[in-house]
């Protein structure tokens, strides 16, 4: 056999045994680590079981062809041999993919943060449009979305927006969206029909538990302030909004989504943990994976992963140098074309990097 993953099966069985011990539940961090390792191995172990069964079927068919004299039985054996060989080739490719490094955050909920960068009002308008596009895509994928924070400029468009996407594998779908997005189009206020270039920044942060981030209370500055959203009669009467700052990094969060100060505080903790986790993951990513995108950027027009060129009806992703047409459809529901192309390119790059491995 090309693959011999018996050691992988032994490791998987050992993890199952370890996770069945009652004392493991006393250490939540270790429980989470072992559960993640087991989950990573699960698909490979299942495929390897099928792979060995396919080889067993191939051996049986080969033996029958060698010993059997009856032509009908020989024909059945030949069919079984062909099917087994085809299945083995298919399973080999699946096993290769299953053994590729996996992102430990792929199955997590996410927090999405969009900010208008270069381009003033046009950037704010596009930030609102892209946020809507993400939400439509999320709903089509059966995810649930909820806006956590929204900051509006004088013209009514978004300066900053934070929303959550919940359901399994949310991060795996959105993780390629982090970085700077550039838009080129003629603004409605442009009298000379000149094309303007604007940018917005997007950060995709996996939702994390307390055990994932070391966030001490003494490192936090928490202030209760009055909410400022229009439309609520009570907003300027109670200190329900929460402004939370992590002093060592000066990363801050402002939450006023709920009328309850307690709920806003819990939400601020959640978003701040995600931001701190994203910063730490970025440090590790720079050491391990050169292709991973940073979560910290300036928003300069030269830094971009994607350009939305409206006059030419073209969206270009600069990481894979692939262009897509029909911008209105992309912004409404066909974003998945781009996301699937990025996921495929990432998988192919990993396969090429792993091609030198002696399987």
What lies within 8 Å, CB to CB, of 296 at 6+ separation is 279, 282
The parent domain of residue 137 ranges over 110-347
Domain boundary among 71, 98, 125: 98
Q: Are residues 299 and 191 in the same domain?
A: yes
Give the C-alpha distances (Å, rounded to integers) separating 81 from 160, 213, 229.
Answer: 61, 53, 69
Domain count, the chain: 2
CB count within 10 Å of CB 1 equals 12
Provide the whole-model pTM: 0.70
Residue 357 belongs to some domain of the structure: no
Q: Is the pLDDT of residue 293 over 50?
A: no
Higher pLDDT, 2 or 237: 2
CB count within 10 Å of CB 161 equals 23
Least confident of 149-158, 215-224, 227-236: 227-236
Asked whether the beta carbons of 267 and 147 are under 8 A apart, the reply is no
- What percent helix, strand, coil does the chain show, rounded to 5? 50, 20, 30
Q: Is the pLDDT of residue 291 over 50?
A: no
Q: Are residues 227 and 89 in the same domain?
A: no
Supply φ then ψ for residue 256, to 5 degrees: -140, 20
Least confident of 108-122, 138-152, 265-279: 265-279
Question: What are the residue ranges of helices labelled H in the chain?
Answer: 6-19, 28-67, 71-98, 120-140, 170-174, 261-288, 327-332, 335-354
Pair of tokens at residue 260: 């309850």
Per-residue pLDDT tens over the stretch 159-214: 889 999 998 889 999 999 988 999 999 887 666 778 889 999 998 988 887 666 77
Tell me the pLDDT of the chain averaged across its residues: 83
Domain boundary among 77, 98, 119: 98
């Amino acid at each position: 056999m090309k693959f011999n993953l018996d050691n992988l099966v032994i490791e998987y069985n050992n993890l199952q045994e370890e996770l069945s011990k009652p004392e493991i539940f006393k250490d939540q961090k270790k429980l989470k680590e072992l559960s993640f390792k087991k989950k990573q191995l699960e698909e490979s172990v299942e495929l390897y079981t099928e792979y060995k069964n396919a080889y067993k079927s191939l051996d049986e068919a080969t033996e029958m062809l060698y010993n059997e004299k009856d032509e009908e039985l020989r024909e059945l054996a030949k069919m079984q041999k062909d099917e087994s060989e085809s299945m083995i080739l298919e399973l080999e490719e699946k096993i290769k993919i299953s053994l590729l490094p996996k992102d430990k955050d792929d199955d997590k909920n996410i927090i999405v943060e969009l900010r208008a960068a270069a381009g003033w009002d046009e950037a704010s308008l596009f930030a609102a449009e892209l946020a809507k596009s993400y939400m439509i895509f999320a709903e089509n994928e059966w995810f649930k979305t909820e806006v956590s924070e929204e900051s509006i400029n004088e013209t009514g468009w978004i300066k900053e927006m934070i929303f959550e996407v919940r359901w399994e594998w949310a991060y795996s779908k959105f993780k390629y969206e982090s970085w700077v997005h550039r838009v080129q189009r003629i603004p409605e206020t442009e009298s000379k029909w000149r094309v303007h270039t604007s940018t917005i920044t997007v950060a995709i942060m996996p939702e994390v538990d307390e055990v994932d981030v070391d966030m001490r209370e003494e490192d936090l500055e928490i202030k209760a302030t009055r909410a400022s959203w229009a439309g609520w009669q009570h907003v300027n009467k109670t200190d329900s909004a929460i402004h939370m700052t992590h002093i060592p990094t000066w990363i801050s969060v402002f939450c006023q989504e709920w009328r309850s100060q307690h709920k806003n505080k819990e939400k601020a903790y959640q978003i701040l943990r995600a931001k701190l986790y994203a910063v730490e993951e970025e440090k590790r990513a720079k050491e391990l994976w050169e292709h991973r995108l940073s979560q910290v950027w300036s928003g300069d027009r030269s830094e971009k992963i994607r350009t939305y060129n409206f006059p030419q009806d073209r969206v270009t992703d600069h990481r894979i140098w692939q262009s897509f047409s029909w911008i209105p459809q992309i912004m409404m529901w066909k974003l998945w074309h781009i996301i699937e192309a990025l996921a495929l390119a990432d998988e192919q790059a990993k396969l090429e990097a792993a091609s030198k491995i002696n399987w």
